[in-house]
Structure 1
Amino acid sequence: MPLPEPGAELAGRVAVVTGASRGIGRAVALALARAGARVVCAAKSGGATSTSSLPGDVHGVARECGNGSIGVVTNVLDERSMIACVETAVRTFGRVDILVNNASALWWQDIEDTPTKKYDLINGVNSRGSFIMTRECMRVMKKGGYGRVINMGPPIPDASRFREYETKTAYYISKCGMTMVALGAAAEGRKHGITGNSLWPATIVESLASENFQLGERDNWRKADILADCVVQLCLDGNTTGQMLIDDEYLRTRGAVDEDFVKYRCNPDVEPPRLLAPGSSVAGWDVRRGDVKALAKDKARSKL
């Protein structure tokens, strides 16, 4: 059974997508626009702020989206910038219906190799940034009686899966914070037509981070389209809330079968390993990343 196609459900809805200037965020923004939503593309990269190491332009992505979508240069480390982004969305469209907290910072290192400055950075971008964006958007969603909060965060490992924290303790604190924000949105939004879920890839996904940090071979990656399709399905799905979802597992609940996942492979002939899925046979895989300048050293110390 094919995935449900959007009808008129998302026509006129307004979606805010953070980290929308490239990679996963751009794929999500474009997918929502194709489904009929008007997208507020929010990211730090826009126009003169785009660089060779951090390319992308929220205004360019907004033009790709069409539907009257707009780009808003937004720094998720800056509370005022995030508040201004939501205010711009309301001033332009009069509503906010969907929030995708995708903007994220990566840091995979041992506890003793994590400076406080890096710890503060990833928590500022990931958990704090998603909390403030969710807070501001939920205030608007409640007035409209409808909302979808989707945060790119992992299922929270329990004690039986403690090995998954290896080289990722600080990162998991920040990313599981994003997951908890989604669950909190589900709890507090249930009387207001608002759902909240976290979403996580089973595999490494093609993105600037996976390219810059050389996270294995491209043959072992999936395209960002798999997460974009999940986001659209979650926007159509008013029954799933308070869940910590894995992309391919969720799509199966929506009707996807084995052959449907071939289109997501970066190499059509290779099925990527589910390295990021909970309970993976490679849990605790020894990989260190976080500073592109130290990539050679990190790769030498890693098994990926």
Structure 2
Amino acid sequence: MENSLFDLKGRTALVTGGGAGLGRKIAEVFAEYGADVAVCSRKVENCQETAESLQKEYGIKSKAYECNVGSEENVKKTVEAVIADFGKVDILVNNSGATWGENAESMPLEAWEKVMKVNVTGTFLMSKAVGNHMIENGYGKIINIGSVAGLKAEPPEVLNAIGYSTSKAAVHHFTRDLARKWAGYGLYVNAIAPGFFETKMTKHVIEQNADKIINKNPLKKLGDPRSLQGAALFLAGGASDYVTGQVIAVDGGASL
């Protein structure tokens, strides 16, 4: 695996929302391929359990941090702490996310603003803080987690969360625009747009609509964690050194 397209030895990754769900799966594959991994979220207990598990299973360095990605002050302190502990950040995964299910005509403003603050503002703040460090180093890989919901409009009976869908579309364009702005610094910015994977956030939707989602999917299945890990590993390592500004749908063809 050494010197392979996917080897991450000597790299340090920071994964937001890394204590559970897809964030944890991404943290795990980075550790599996040799990276040291910092994980952060508002619920630091989940991150602590993840960090301990990664260290034990893969023998890499891992540490947990509490971070509210919607707070610039909190983000700055977290990034400074990670750099102090690990020496650098080579890979950033903006995975922290929020959603709110509600009809568009009755969605409360505070719900809309909460989703935007975490999904869009949080992605910007973390990218800015880590990006400045990466620019100084002349290298960095930023991976934003979008969603197939930001690529197509789902019927309300499948997904009724207009704030979430809009925020993920914003993340996709943020990815493309930032990639263009930072390419000259040696930074790569890409996004993954997952389809329906079984996570805490999607549990209710899948429980209510699993058959409908699967039947409409060209591959006739829900997402499996290994597929998402493969996309993240590709974007984090040398295999993607000529790829930037892309939104890769990992959705079984649902966005076609």
Q: Shorter-normalised TM-score: what interval?
A: 0.7 to 0.9
2:139 to 123, 141, 146: 146
The one-letter amino acid paired with 1:206 is E
Give CA-to-partner distance per residue, 1:190-228, whole Å, 9 cap, x none.
112211111112x31021122245353498422222212
RMSD, matched Cα: 2.4
Matched, 1:207 2:199: yes
Report the Cα distance in structure 2 between the residues aligned to 1:120 and 1:32, rounded to whole angstroms: 32
User: How many pairs were matched up?
Assistant: 236
Matched, 1:221 2:222: yes
Aligned identity (percent) is 27
User: Which residue of structure 2 aligns with residue 61 of structure 1?
Assistant: 50
Structure 2 unmatched ranges of 5 or more: 215-220
The one-letter amino acid paired with 1:238 is D
TM-score (norm 2): 0.83
Q: Are 2:70 and 2:125, in contact at CA under 8 Å, matched by a contact in 1?
A: no
User: Which residue of structure 1 aligns with residue 244 of structure 2?
Assistant: 241
Rg bigger for which structure? 1
CA drift at 1:178? 1.7
Matched, 1:131 2:124: yes
CA drift at 1:6? 4.6
User: Which residue of structure 2 aligns with residue 101 of structure 1?
Assistant: 94
CA drift at 1:74? 1.1
SS state at 1:209 partner: coil
Q: Are 2:134 and 2:187, in contact at CA under 8 Å, matched by a contact in 1?
A: yes
User: Which residue of structure 1 aligns with residue 255 of structure 2?
Assistant: 278
Counterpart mapping for 1:106-185 below 5 A: 106-154=99-147, 157=151, 163-164=153-154, 167-185=160-178
User: Which residue of structure 2 aligns with residue 258 of structure 1?
Assistant: none
The one-letter amino acid paired with 1:224 is P
Report the Cα distance in structure 1 between the residues aligned to 2:38 and 2:106, rounded to whole angstroms: 37
SS state at 2:244 partner: coil
User: Which residue of structure 2 aligns with residue 232 of structure 1?
Assistant: 233
Give CA-to-partner distance per residue, 1:211-267, whole Å, 9 cap, x none.
24535349842222221221111112111111111126xxxxxxxxxxxxxxxxxxx
TM-score (norm 1): 0.71
2:32 to 26, 31, 34: 34
CA drift at 1:278? 2.1
SS state at 1:175 partner: helix
